[in-house]
Structures are given as structure tokens and as C-alpha cells.
Amino acid sequence: MAGEEGLEPPNAGTKTRCLTTWPLPNASVIITDLPLLANACVVLNIRTTKAARRVYNSPMVKDAIVKFDTNMTAFVQHWPAWLQMPMLVITNVGQPAVMAFVAAAIGFWAWQHASMRIVYAMGTGVLAMGANTILKHYVHRTRPDTLYVSNMYFKTSSFPSGHSFGATVILGLAAYLAFKYLPAPWTYAVPAFLILFILAVGISRVYVGAHYPTDVIAGWGLGAVVVALIIVFVKP
């Protein structure tokens, strides 16, 4: 954000903790940056999917993925049975609807403090979650044959994990904002907690039988790329 006239916070070069002093960004942020970023996310998803399909069609790669998914699923699902309830709680908290609510809450708070770049960042994150849903239908990978999947109210395709993607994007942005704006020791404690929760959400999806491990890894990876794009282009 440094170097943009009218957008640089006071005391540049140090962490800015007060958002109320930030002026409204130029309207070009909405007109140019955000549509380009949304388009980049969609193109990235489509190209990644096409490349992944070409690689996956190789028998050797397909066998390796199946072996990896089988072994990792067996490893995670053999964890102690008392983890069942905590994992269900984590997987429910990490669902995309909750992440959208978290994004809206952060966006509303930022709007009240005249920090519109954070509003745009959270809005772009929610749009990316929608793009991920489209990607899931495009890939159309069947979910694991488990009791959890059979009891799901809304059944979507498996790849990539929407929970993992949404949690990575929204909580990843929240972790970045916490690191940037919160005072010590929260500047480290909150991001660390959020990152651990992102990992827990993905693991919970494998534990309860909702996804294959590669679905979760893809959700984490694509989500991290989207967070990086938002930070670079929107500059929250």
C-alpha cells in the first residue's frame, strides 16, 4: 500500500494498529482491481483443474493418489473415538456458510471503521468461495462412500474441499489482518490459532469421512493462493 497517494497509513514503515485513520480508497479499486482479481481466481481454478486432469489420467499418478488417499484416510480415521465429537464441532464451524458469516462480520466492522480495503478483501474471499463451488461441479469427483456422506443434506462433489478452501481463504485473511493490526502478544497468538484451526478443519473432513485427503490438500493449496492474490491486489 506504500507509495499509493492518499492510501498510505500514518507512521508508514511500522505496524498500523488504528484503522479509523485510514481514508477511503480510490474507486478504481472496485472498477479495476476486484473484477480482475475475481477473473484471475476463476481462470486459475479452471487451468489448475485442466492440468490436474491431464496428470490424473496417467495410470501411475492415479494409482499413487488412490494409495495416498487410502493410507492417509486409514491413518486419520484410526485416531481415538473420543475425537468424534470435537471433529464434528470443528467441521460444522468450518463450513462455508459460517465462513461467509465471519467474512461479513469482519467486513461490517471494517466498514464502520472506514477501512474499505478490508471490506473488499472479505467480499473477494466470499466470491472465491462461490468460484470454488463451481469448480467442484466442474471436476465432479465422487465423495467417499461413508455414512457421513449418505446423511449429508446438501451433497456436492468432493474436489476440492469447500470447507478447507473457505476456511483457508477467510481465516487466512483474518490471520493476516490480525498479524498486521493487533498489538502484541495477539499479533502472533491469533494468527497461530487461526492457522491451527484451518488445519483442523481440513483434518476433520477426512476424519468424519466427508473427503479424501487430496481434496483437503487441494482446498488448502488453492485457498492459500487466493489469499496471496487478495493481499497483493486488494492490499487490505
pLDDT tens track for 200-226: 999 999 999 999 999 999 999 999 999
pLDDT the model gives residue 158: 83
* pLDDT score of 35: 55
Q: Residue 50 belongs to what H/E stretch? A: helix 34-56
Q: Summarize the confidence of residues 152-177 as an average pLDDT.
A: 91
Sign of the Cα torsion 198, 202, 203, 205 reads positive
Please give the model's pTM, rounded to 2 decimal places.
0.76
| Pairwise CA distance, residues 204 & 112, whole Å | 35
Please answer whether residues 113 and 19 qualify as being in contact, where contact means their C-beta atoms are separated by less than 8 angstroms. Answer: yes
114-159 per-position pLDDT tens digit: 889 999 999 999 999 998 888 888 878 888 888 888 888 877 788 8
CB 206 within 8 A of CB 72: yes
